[in-house]
Amino acid sequence: MYFLKEIILQLFFGLMPLVMFNIYYRDQPRNYSQKFIVITSMLCLFFSMTFGASAVSGYFYDIRYIIMFFGMIFGGIHTGLILLAEFVLYRLYLGGEGMWVAMAILTVTFPLSILLYRLYERAKRKLIITITAGAFFSFVPIVFVYMYNPQSILDHLVFHIFVVPIQNLLGCWLLISLFNKAVLDKQLFIEYAQNERVKAIGHVAASLVHEVRNPLTAIKGFLTLMRGSRLEPGKTERYIDICMSEIERTEYILSEYLSISKPNSDEQVPSDLQAILHITRDVMNPYANLNNVVLEIESPPEPVWILANPDRMKQVLVNFIKNAVEACADTPHGDGRVALNLQISTRKVTLKISDNGVGMTQEQLNHLGSIYFSTKSSGTGLGMTFSYQAVHTFGGTISVESTQGAGTEFTIKLPLYRKKEQGEPWRSGVHIDIKNKDI
């Protein structure tokens, strides 16, 4: 029972990078970094060596070699060298009879780790390399200890034949295989989310073509009038003013579209949500007009400050408004309406996005925001997943009420940002409150 506890403890330490990856990068629009691998691997190595299994005083058996191999695979040779330095320094500190045996083992296992790392990079069947690494890291230390102190092996034969190999083989397979799967899944999500964003921006761009064509048609008409006949100076100036006004309107539409379609950054800064909302409304208006939907907005005249990434906030609004417009596109009598209502209270900013579209069922509401769930037959649902994660990152909450056949209302609440001299901004954890009204 004691040995089982030791195996479980070592496996727990070995899976620490996987657990921390799923926690830290859950709401991040990016994958792991080398810095993350270095930090988590160093922590994992420290704990595994501190609480290593031991059948003979001075001899510690843990998953140190597995962690160094893992660090090389996902962080490169530099990460492996950092972990090597940590191991040497900490093993010297721990001391004991088996200290110099551990150093001798390292002279074999570390070059072996580099060789296996190179093979892993090229291999199509990576599982074979992973299992081979676990086997080598199990038996090489046992062979060295046997050469130095054979009696310690013979006196605890069960421990060395079963516990050490199981600990290393299982640890290597679980850590590398599961972490690799988590990384690939995250990368797949990022790529799908980017494709969803490009798709949404493409739909908006199609509607902008119609919107830009109108002022260009007007400009062309007035220029034709000015060239084809002699006009009074007053009329010529008025026509020029109209043309300039239409050109400025076109420039505004295109510049705001470009501000939304540019790549998102990660930095959160004080952002005026009122200005962001109006900019997004102006960009989405052509899309709403194309679908015969009226887009209304109500907001305070003064700036409404939140701590957020403005590019990601714009994308969140694009996703919500686009979904609301599409939900209203098929409403009877062509009376589709999407209302944006921004309110400010003492500590919170509340944005309500409501429509009179098709609404959602209770089952659809229960899965809303989940990866790959969409109420549209051709959708992936990643636009909403991105939006929920972004609002969570900004310290906000999302709630939704929907009546099937009568419309949906999303309520986004975000902490009101205040400058340092006025106090730090308030933040709250994310939750999703779902209500469904049956007719």
Q: In this structure, what are the phi and psi dihedrals at residue 79, rounded to the nearest 5 degrees?
A: -65, -40
Q: In this structure, what are the phi and psi dihedrals at residue 319, rounded to the nearest 5 degrees?
A: -60, -45
- Determine the distance from the C-alpha atom of residue 111 to the mean position of all C-alpha atoms in its chain, rounded to a whole number: 35
pLDDT of residue 336: 86
In 51-125, alpha helices (H): 64-75, 77-94, 99-122
The residue out of 131, 165, 193 marking a domain boundary is 193
Nearest to 173 by CA among 78, 249, 317, 63: 63
Q: Say how far apart CA 429 and CA 412 lie, in whole Å.
A: 13
Expressed as residue numbers, the domain containing 310 is 266-437
pLDDT digits 0-9 by tens, 160-196:
787 888 888 888 999 999 999 988 888 877 777 666 6
The residue out of 193, 213, 245 marking a domain boundary is 193
What confidence category does residue 298 fall into, taking pLDDT thresholds of 50, 70 and 90?
Answer: very high
Question: Count of domains in the chain?
Answer: 2
Q: Say how far apart CA 7 and CA 94 lie, in whole Å.
A: 21
Q: Say how far apart CA 89 and CA 91 lie, in whole Å.
A: 6
Give domain status of residue 228, yes or no. Answer: no
pLDDT digits 0-9 by tens, 218-258:
677 777 767 766 667 677 777 787 788 778 777 766 766 66
pLDDT digits 0-9 by tens, 119-176:
998 888 889 999 999 999 988 888 888 888 888 788 778 777 878 888 888 889 999 9
Q: In this structure, what are the phi and psi dihedrals at residue 402, rounded to the nearest 5 degrees?
A: -145, 140
Q: Say how far apart CA 210 and CA 296 lie, in whole Å.
A: 20
Give domain status of residue 184, yes or no. Answer: yes
Give domain status of residue 379, yes or no. Answer: yes
- The proportion of the chain whose per-residue pLDDT surpasses 70, expressed as a percent, equals 77
The residue out of 158, 193, 228 marking a domain boundary is 193
Q: Bridge-partner residues for 342, per DSSP? A: 351
Range with the poorest average pLDDT among 114-128, 349-363, 387-401, 417-431: 417-431
Give domain status of residue 246, yes or no. Answer: no
- The residue assigned the tokens 């194309």 is 290
pLDDT digits 0-9 by tens, 264-276:
566 788 999 998 8
Give domain status of residue 199, yes or no. Answer: no
CATH code, 298:
3.30.565.10
Using the predicted structure, report yes or no on whether residue 400 has a pLDDT greater than 60.
yes
Give domain status of residue 255, yes or no. Answer: no
Give domain status of residue 201, yes or no. Answer: no
